[in-house]
Structure 1
């Protein structure tokens, strides 16, 4: 072998080694935190997202369920700081950060039938065009919003009208509009971090709280309550976000990879959360046969529905012209979805 031939082969070996190192460097580990357990709705979405990313790239996703990195406020701060690449958080907790996102807590705004609801989340101009710039202002890339299921109340006494909530200390998320909503319902809203809710219900510090059906079962809230009441006022919504600097710094291929994974997880979770909600009530009845579960009639719901106008006014008062624009667009999107 000539010296020049040796140099050529050596150069190829160096090139191959460099290529291997570059590939290894490109295979990143991304951190993703969410507000629920692995087998709950956000956890199942996150697992599907992870599965899609890892099946279509060399990247790895590390998942952090609720509590492993602190409360919701902690994970949001970590996402904004770039410690986390992805975070799933309900507008209920981002309301102080992005006031317009509180629109999802206007009672009776979202439809109850799944066909219209899913079409709205797929096609909504408000979600796909108006919200992303607002999230971007907070250093976040909005990837997806999706429903987690019908929200129901748990209380110690039956609720059939707003009068039944009079003077009931009702836990709400740290969300100004949710406070207004439960004031309109007749309750005494009490903002409280989730980690304190079970104990507060158990000791009587609060007498009520609301959450999606599946969450009432998985967190065993039925153990510290006597009545579950569904008034059809809301479907719990959550948002998946990426750190904006991280996302903007990716190549086009990785950005498309992330969006494809978010879309696949979105479609997967729609049917999953419906089935989970139905199963959860059956599990609650098995675990506590004496529990009272009330699904209010259309007539019983009317006094609660009548409060939505005042909550809409409060929302616009908090968010101004932008909030009014988003609310109007959401109503137009919902009308289109219902057709």
Structure 2
């Protein structure tokens, strides 16, 4: 497991030093949730390079653990300590309940081409979500997909019944908890820093993540049975502190938007083939790993439980959640109609 350096008082103190007139600072700060070379880091690096090549600003990128866990970096962004943050809806869901829509199982397709077209054209993502984030003091710059979600367990499974009694680690997200309850498991919300140890000691029997993160974090070492359930894609969002963004000149705001678009194009190219490469690395590194790809018939047993999760999402989010679900379905229909 990769070593991580958690946030210290000295680190935060250094960030706070000289924060007056942050909007005009020549050194901007950006934190994300992943390791060096992972998808969010590739996005952040592309964003940084564009900013620095097209302005006098510099950008400092902080990776997982350098400033704490996901909740810590969001708090620092809202406080104006950080100018930019990359955080998945799995953690943002407590702040923006509607963001949990990405954890309604079998809502999104799993084939890469359709997923990317959906993100490019979705009214829900490109028009509705920015308003929801703005209500929390955040300028949503880009949402993007990282990879299909894979479940790892202490033994292979093909039915919901085989998940009964299994403690599955999930992000601290109420709807994700509802998903795994529907699947028959015992969802266990934990921050990322506790996952490897929990799997290693047997406190956890499984977890879910995109395959590149399973490889990067070494999760296959302690949870070697990979199961492709087809239930969704991992999605993340890159955003700015709203006050900081509003304080920028029009030219600087456009610079930030252009850098976000540039990074998005880089990441869409980067994730193409990434899942296959990551799985190959895992299989080369361990002969204990097994791979189970559920058949359509086996998937149907899990998909049949999805409507109750969608209903719970609407109960959590009210009319706005209902409108968002309806728009998601309309956006997906439009993508499929163009195929």
- TM-score normalised by structure 1 residue count: 0.91
CA RMSD of the aligned region, Å?
1.1
1:33 aligns with 2:31: yes
Alpha-carbon separation, structure 1, partners of 2:69 and 2:86: 12
Question: Greater Rg, structure 1 or structure 2?
Answer: 1
Determine the structure 2 residue equivalent to 1:314: 312
Runs of 4+, deviation exceeding 4 Å = none
Give the alignment of 1:79-94 within 5 angstroms. Answer: 79-94=77-92
Aligned residue among 132, 135, 146 for 2:133: 135
Q: Find the counterpart in structure 1 of residue 20 from structure 2.
A: none
Residue number in structure 1 paired with 2:64: 66
Structure 1 residue 27 displacement after superposition? 6.6
Name the residue aligned to 1:120. Answer: 118
- TM-score of the superposed pair, with normalisation by structure 2: 0.91
Instruction: Tell me what 1:153 maps to.
Output: 151
CA deviation after TM superposition for structure 1 residue 65, in Å: 0.2
CA pair 73-27 structure 1, distance change in 2 beyond 3 A: closer
Counterpart residue number, 1:5 = none
Structure 2: gaps (5+ residues)? 1-22
Residue of 197, 200, 224 corresponding to 1:199: 197
Deviates further, 222-231 or 73-82 = 222-231
Q: Secondary structure of the equivalent of 2:168? A: strand
Q: Deviations over 1:26-84 (max 9, x none)?
A: 67110000000120000000000001111111111100000000011100000000000
Structure 1 residue runs of 5 or longer lacking an equivalent are 1-24
| Residues 1:228 and 2:230 are matched in the alignment | no
Q: How far does the alpha carbon of each residue in 1:99-153 deviate from its partner, in whole angstroms, 9 at most, with x for none?
A: 0000000001111222221111111111111111111111100000000001101
| Residue of structure 2 in register with 1:285 after alignment | 283
Higher helix share: 1
Whether the 8 Å contact between 1:27 and 1:58 is mirrored in structure 2 is no
Partner Cα separation in structure 2 for residue 122 and residue 260 of structure 1: 15
Q: Deviations over 1:193-237 (max 9, x none)?
A: 110000000001010100000000000001102311011101100
* Separation in 2, partners of 1:247, 1:206: 41
Q: Name 1:237's counterpart in structure 2.
A: 235
> Does the 8 Å CA contact 1:117/1:337 hold for their aligned counterparts?
no
Corresponding residue for 2:4?
Answer: none
The 1-side partners of 2:25 and 2:64 are apart by 26
Partners of 1:162 and 1:95 in 2: CA distance = 25
Residue 234 of structure 2 aligns to a residue whose secondary structure is strand
Change (3 A) 1:76 1:217: same
Do the aligned residues in 1 keep the contact of 2:24 with 2:248 (CA within 8 Å)?
Answer: no
2:46 alignment counterpart: 48
Q: Return the alpha-carbon distance in structure 1 between the equivalents of residues 29 and 273 of structure 2.
A: 28
Partner of 2:257: 259
Maintained 8 Å contact 1:149/1:274: no
8 A contact 1:144–1:240 mirrored in 2: yes
Looking at structure 2, the residues matched to 81 and 126 of structure 1 have their Cα atoms a distance apart, in angstroms, of 27
Query: What is the aligned residue count?
Result: 315
2:302 paired residue number? 304
Q: 1:99 to 1:63 in 2, by over 3 A?
A: same
| Deviating more after overlay: 130-139 vs 74-83 | 130-139
The answer to whether the Cα contact below 8 Å between 1:27 and 1:60 also exists between their aligned partners in 2 is no
Aligned to 1:187: 185
